[in-house]
Structure 1
Amino acid sequence: MGRKVRDFIVINLGIAMVALGMYFFLMPNNLATGGANGLAIVINSFIPALSVGILMIIINLVLFIVAFLAIGKNFGIKTIYSSLGVSFMILILEKIIPIQKSITGELFLELIFGIIISGGGMAIVFNENASTGGTDIIAKILNKFFHINLGKAVLLADLSITVMAGFAFGPRLSMFSMLGVIINGFIIDSIIEGLNMNKQVTIISSKYEEVRKYIIEELEKSSTIYEAIGGFSDENKKVIVSIMGRREFIRLKNFINTIDQDAFVTVNNIYEVFGNGFGSFTH
């Protein structure tokens, strides 16, 4: 129950960030940076009677129906909730805080802020095994029927929308939208890596037993012990390997420093870990 509440809160935080980034920075500048929102911005330019929020709901509903018929239920309830959540939040913002023009008049500045905020929200949603819909559903359909790699399919779908933006708003905004798509990809990847980053620590210490006990009893982490022979000293040594979060690593480093300043420690960043107390394969 606690896990479900936590997932619900985190997904809603991501949804809010996506909606706020799009509504306050991308939409006023007609920056169609892919997804259902980008397509809605383009369509809105030809049919202004339909708001972007309404169009996003229509686009996502159509895509859900197509996805159910074409690829089944594989994209999951979280994706339906997240994509409709973004659409409804933008619709509400249009009603209570109508925006007619750019906040600062600085196109590039607002592109960067919009992409950072909305891309950060997308990363949070993706990290919860969901998505904000739109382009992702198109990408899955392209992947199934045309065997196009999912990453390439997402990029192809997003770039297609930016090309449409060129017809609606001219080449300048189309090129800014393309730039936004590219930056968005880097931001999402970087944030997801940061959210999931752990430390793989390898330790060779004369105080090996104390270190092992500290990892298990104080940090409540497991470890693997290897038998090794020193290449220079030709002595038998025990090597401890453990994976932990950044906070636990700082505590471990300070502990090792107090008991054995001659310990040999190497550290690697690990971005995905499954099983044994870490993430599940299905989450």
Structure 2
Amino acid sequence: MDFFDRTSPYLRLARVDKPVGILLLLWPTLGALSVAASGHPPLHLLATFILGSVLMRSAGCVANDLADERFDAHVTRTKHRPLASGAISRTQARSFLAMLLMLAALLLLHLNALTGLYALGASAVALCYPFGKRVFGVPQVVLGVAFSFGIPMAFAAVLDSVPAVAWWLCAANLFWVVGYDTAYAMVDRADDLLVGVKSSAITFGRYEVLASGFCFATYLGIFAALAIVSQWTTAFWLGWTGALGCVVDQYFKIRSRDPALCFQAFNRAHRAGLCMFTGLAVALT
């Protein structure tokens, strides 16, 4: 057995073969880093947050699969995952999770204490998220909090404080996450109902498309308000317009309620984040 054969199940467990989740976490974090550093974030912080996003998203996927192993085996889309299929044991997965968290912790050694405190909060929420699906009707909100922690961390790393603009960016990101992850939940709705897992697609019922559209509109609206107050330049508005186009494309796919199109909408969600980050980075440079 060669190296790739031995590592492939671990890479799949960490979803390295599906990088969309990394991008969904990365773009808002880098956008916050650009705002905090007035468009000129230090290279060592860029490298730290990029690597940290990869490690924490991977750790979140492993924790999710450990918690959902018995559910994943009964869901069409997830039954072939390494844990659910038996390619990796629970002991091996726990060891891999510990290694990922340790590597992420090492990144904090050269950052200030405030950033470390937010990192602890991010880790706690990320590890709790899989269990939120058992008790909370809209677990996408918990995911949104987890995926937004990189924003105050970025401000803390640059400024050693977290100003109001960071929390507005968090609010925008939270709505964005609920919007695109509702599309993801619509793919698994039938299976989730069978196994008893909660999701926004189930809780919102026939209003799930409207709810997703409202979240997208709020995401764009908060960014527009911040741009006006902060007097961001035309470059930002070009990025914002690109994000608008991406969101509209997602919405029309979701509106079909076709699982294949909903999954496609989710996989394209990162494009809106890329547009918004690019607009911010150029406008602030």
**TM-score normalised by the chain length of structure 2:** 0.28
Larger Rg belongs to:
1
| Greater share of helix | 2
**TM-score normalised by the chain length of structure 1:** 0.29
